[in-house]
């Protein structure tokens, strides 16, 4: 499982929220947490795009195999933070850029910035379910083991992906907070 935690978001906009909503009971927390929730939802939606930019996986394949949870924490002293967790099982190697030919050659590329690697002693077959890449464990014909790429949680640990997620959360928060201030002032939002 991989966690993305954002702290100290929108310091200047939070001062503005405090000034405008100082006389509205609970208004500051309501506006800031709503904006932060929207920012987290946007980042979770774009996570597949960020992972697909670094790994040779389709955005749809990533989104079908990821489990996400987000939590907003309102701490002491008015501190507001968000944590998003990403989890999922390891993905079969054929989910990534893997090619195989009739002569038994299997080539795969998991990361976009890396080159393709030829897998020795690997083959593609349908043994335990869907078609997958297998490799013999020893010299006899069996046992064999299926080859996997990284899990969706591992992909979200990539530094470039984390930077893009952080930037998306911060940008969306700054754009949303003005709208949430107006919602609180107009009596919306619960």
User: What pTM was estimated for this model as a whole?
Assistant: 0.83
Contact 134, 117 (CB under 8 A): no
Q: What confidence score (pLDDT) does residue 167 get? A: 93
Q: What confidence score (pLDDT) does residue 1 get? A: 73
Q: Is the pLDDT of residue 11 over 60?
A: yes
Question: Coil, helix or strand for 16?
Answer: helix
Distance CA 182, CA 88 (A): 38
Model pLDDT for residues 33-91, shown as the tens digit of each residue: 899 999 999 999 999 999 999 999 999 999 999 999 988 877 555 567 788 999 999 99
Strand order in the sheet with 67-74: 2-6, 80-87, 67-74
Helix count and strand count (H, E) for the chain: 5, 11
Nearest to 61 by CA among 70, 49, 71, 69: 49
Distance CA 89, CA 81 (A): 27
Contact 4, 164 (CB under 8 A): no
Q: What confidence score (pLDDT) does residue 16 get? A: 82
Model pLDDT for residues 144-184, shown as the tens digit of each residue: 899 999 999 999 999 999 999 999 998 999 999 999 999 99
Alpha-carbon torsion angle 13, 14, 18, 20, nearest 10:
20
Model pLDDT for residues 109-143, shown as the tens digit of each residue: 999 998 999 998 899 999 878 999 999 888 888 88
Distance CA 16, CA 94 (A): 50
Model pLDDT for residues 85-95, shown as the tens digit of each residue: 999 999 999 99
Contact 169, 160 (CB under 8 A): no
């Amino acid at each position: 499982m991989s966690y993305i935690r954002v702290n100290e978001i929108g310091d200047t906009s939070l001062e503005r929220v405090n000034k405008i909503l100082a006389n509205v009971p609970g208004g500051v927390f309501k506006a800031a947490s709503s904006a932060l929730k929207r920012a987290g939802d946007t980042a979770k939606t774009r996570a597949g795009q960020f992972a697909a930019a670094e790994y040779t996986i389709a955005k749809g394949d990533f989104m079908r195999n990821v489990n996400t949870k987000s939590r907003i924490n309102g701490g002491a002293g008015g501190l507001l933070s968000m944590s998003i967790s990403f989890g999922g099982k390891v993905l079969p190697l054929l989910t990534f850029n893997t090619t195989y030919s009739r002569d038994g050659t299997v080539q795969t590329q998991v990361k976009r910035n890396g080159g393709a690697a030829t897998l020795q002693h690997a083959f593609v077959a349908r043994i335990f379910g869907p078609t997958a890449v297998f490799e013999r464990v020893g010299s006899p014909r069996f046992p064999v083991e299926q080859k996997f790429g990284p899990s969706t949680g591992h992909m979200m640990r990539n530094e470039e992906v984390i930077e893009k997620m952080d930037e998306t959360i911060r940008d969306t928060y700054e754009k949303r907070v003005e709208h949430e201030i107006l919602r609180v002032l107009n009596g919306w939002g619960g």
